[in-house]
Structure 1
Amino acid sequence: MTDPAPSIRIRLHCGEEIAMGPGKADLLDAIRQHGSISAAGRALGMSYRRTWMLVDVMNRCWDEPLVQTAAGGSHGGGARVTDRGRQVLAHYRALQQAVRDAARGEDWTALRGLMREQPRPGQRKDGNPPE
Structure 2
Amino acid sequence: MQTGPLKLRAQLLCGDEIAMGPGKADLLDAIARTGSISAAGRDLGMSYRRSWMLVDAMNRCFAQPLVQTMIGGGKNRGARLTTAGEQALAAYRALEASIADAAASDLGGLAGMLRPAPLPAASDPEKGGSG
TM-score by shorter chain over 0.5 = yes
- Residues 98-119 of structure 1 show CA distances to partners (whole Å, capped at 9, x for unaligned) of 11111221x2224435667649
Structure-1 residue corresponding to 2:102 = 102
Structure-2 residue corresponding to 1:15 = 15
Distance in structure 2 (CA, Å) of the matches to 1:119 and 1:99: 30
Aligned residues: 123
Distance in structure 1 (CA, Å) of the matches to 2:125 and 2:76: 58
Distance in structure 1 (CA, Å) of the matches to 2:87 and 2:31: 15
Bigger fraction of residues in helix:
2
Identity level (%): 57
Q: Name stretches of at least 5 consecutive residues in structure 2 with no aligned partner.
A: 127-131
Match of 2:52, SS state, is helix
Structure-2 residue corresponding to 1:24 = 24
Q: Name stretches of at least 5 consecutive residues in structure 1 with no aligned partner.
A: 127-131
Distance in structure 2 (CA, Å) of the matches to 1:83 and 1:21: 19
Instruction: Output the amino acid matched with 1:22.
Output: P
Distance in structure 2 (CA, Å) of the matches to 1:74 and 1:11: 36
Match of 2:107, SS state, is helix
Instruction: Output the amino acid matched with 2:34.
Output: H
RMSD: 2.6
Match of 2:89, SS state, is helix
1:1-131 equivalences in 2 (<5 Å): 4-73=4-73, 77-105=77-105, 107-113=106-112, 118=118
Q: 1:43 offset after TM fit, Å?
A: 0.9
Check whether the contact 1:6–1:100 (CA below 8 A) recurs between aligned residues.
no
